[in-house]
Amino acid sequence: MCSTRPSSLAKLEWSSVDDESLKLDDYSLKPLAPPLHHTTDSIDILYQDYAIVVSGDVFRWMLNNAPLETLQRMLVKAQIFARMSPDEKHELVERLQSLGYIVAFCGDGANDCGALKAADVGLSLSEAEASVAAPFTSQNPEITCMIEVIKEGRAALVTSFSCFKYMALYSLIQFTTITLLYSFASSLGDFQFLYIDLFIIIPIAVFMGRTHAYPKIHPQSPTSSLVSKKVLSSIIAQVLITSAVQFWAFFWTRRQPWYKPPVPESGSDKLETVNYENTVLFLVSSFQYILVAAVFSIGPPYRKEIWTNSFLMFSIVALTAFSTVVLLFPPQAVALVLDLMDIPTSAKATLIFAVVLNVVISSWVEKWELLAQVVTFIYRRWRSKRPRRVRDGKLYKAVEGAMR
């Protein structure tokens, strides 16, 4: 607690609520040495963890009179702010944000509207005036619902990034397929495009967002940037793997004894769609569209396991089963509509093995974030040779370090 001296040279006196003889330095807010008669060792006093309790009038006095360093240290060490006016609550939220904190605020009355609106996460505990200013409103008037907001928010953020990565990779997988086919004046057929877009991409993209939040909150927050090394390394790693499989399938097909090169029609500028390269790349890429959805739907620590999402699991299982049937035992009508050519049984077994290997490698790389770890290792080695500095928006870490 603290007290003030009403004079032009007023000072704050910080003392312990358990023992008023234990005090803090009024500038550094570090524990002072105990009195001579005190039984506690000065080393224990210096390094013990402590928290600061601040009332509204003391907070206002510090804003007007305290040095900036002292104010910042108070904000870092304070855990209880009591008897504060609406303006002081609003000011407190903005001051904490200026130190780099992500601020959440719970309120239930009109005097909390300013702070609720200024906070990064505003949660109203009533449906009165505060619910107008707060982005979130809880029907349960307890602050424990803030944990649910954090869990659902993290799950929503991770799901959004997963959908973004899936749509980006879908485009790049199809780009690889079309590039290889364009190399000899071929392309996918109209019904092949329709099957990929309508029957694979749309159901998976819709149902990927139905995975619920993980019941336990993780101590570390997920990445919040689309251009972070974790997101980009995940996309790049999957692009390299899927592209390598398609390139292998393309050149492997041309080396087989049963392969016959397509014969272009004379005087026609139409792209050929019925050939072995088209058939093999379409079959392989159909599995890749499905497998990357499963790879990007890894659950914990922010979402539940993928099998808890029944709609997504049904789509993945049904599409995988259909793609397997089309590869191994294609019905004549389906083969005719999708412009598929018949390939030997041994070739089908080889393609199945390649798809399974693709699934294993992609899942392993995504789960253990291998490329991200390599990038992080290289980045740390590079950063170790440069002088360190505090990143923008993380000022509170520097303040905490100075108080140790």
Tens digits of per-residue pLDDT, 346-373? Answer: 999 999 999 999 999 999 988 877 676 7
Q: Which residue has the tokens 């598929």?
A: 340
109, 132, 147 - which closes a domain: 147
Confidence of residue 43 (pLDDT cuts 50, 70, 90): low
Residues 216 and 330 occupy one common structural domain: yes
**Overall residue count recorded for the chain in this entry:** 404
For residue 159, the domain's CATH number is 1.20.1110.10
Confidence of residue 390 (pLDDT cuts 50, 70, 90): very low
Confidence (pLDDT) at 206: 94
> Would you say 319 and 290 are in contact if contact means Cβ atoms under 8 Å apart?
yes
Residue 389 lies in a domain: no
CA dihedral 185, 191, 193, 195 (to 10 degrees): -150
> Would you say 372 and 234 are in contact if contact means Cβ atoms under 8 Å apart?
yes
How far CA 247 is from CA of 165, 205, 209, 244, 277, in Å, comes to: 22, 26, 31, 5, 11
Residues 25 and 86 occupy one common structural domain: yes
Confidence (pLDDT) at 338: 95
> Would you say 312 and 293 are in contact if contact means Cβ atoms under 8 Å apart?
yes
Stretch 36-64: mean pLDDT, rounded?
76
Stretch 363-384: mean pLDDT, rounded?
74
* Structure-block tokens of residue 62: 């510090």
Residues 138 and 188 occupy one common structural domain: no
Tally of domains within the chain: 2
Residue 377 lies in a domain: no
Q: Chain-wide mean pLDDT for the chain? A: 88
What Rg, from alpha-carbon coordinates, does the chain have? Answer: 31
Residues 110 and 18 occupy one common structural domain: yes
Residues 48 and 72 occupy one common structural domain: yes
Burial 56-89 (b: 16+ CB within 10 A, else e): bebbebbeeebeeebbbbbbbbbeebeebeeebb
Residues 101 and 200 occupy one common structural domain: no
* Structure-block tokens of residue 208: 């990927």
CA separation for the pair 50, 38 (Å, rounded): 18
β-pairing, 12-15 vs 2-4, is antiparallel
Confidence (pLDDT) at 235: 92
> Would you say 397 and 390 are in contact if contact means Cβ atoms under 8 Å apart?
yes
Distance of CA 375 to the CA centre of its chain: 18
Stretch 265-272: mean pLDDT, rounded?
73
pLDDT surpassing 70 at residue 142: yes
147, 169, 185 - which closes a domain: 147
Confidence (pLDDT) at 226: 87
For residue 44, the domain's CATH number is 3.40.50.1000
Lowest mean pLDDT among 52-56, 136-140, 207-211, 214-218: 136-140
Domain span at residue 43?
2-147
Q: Which amino acid is at 127?
A: E
CA separation for the pair 256, 16 (Å, rounded): 83
Confidence (pLDDT) at 93: 96
Confidence (pLDDT) at 337: 95
Residue 117 lies in a domain: yes
Per the model's pLDDT, the better-predicted residue between 130 and 72 turns out to be: 72
Residues 348 and 221 occupy one common structural domain: yes
Stretch 8-20: mean pLDDT, rounded?
78
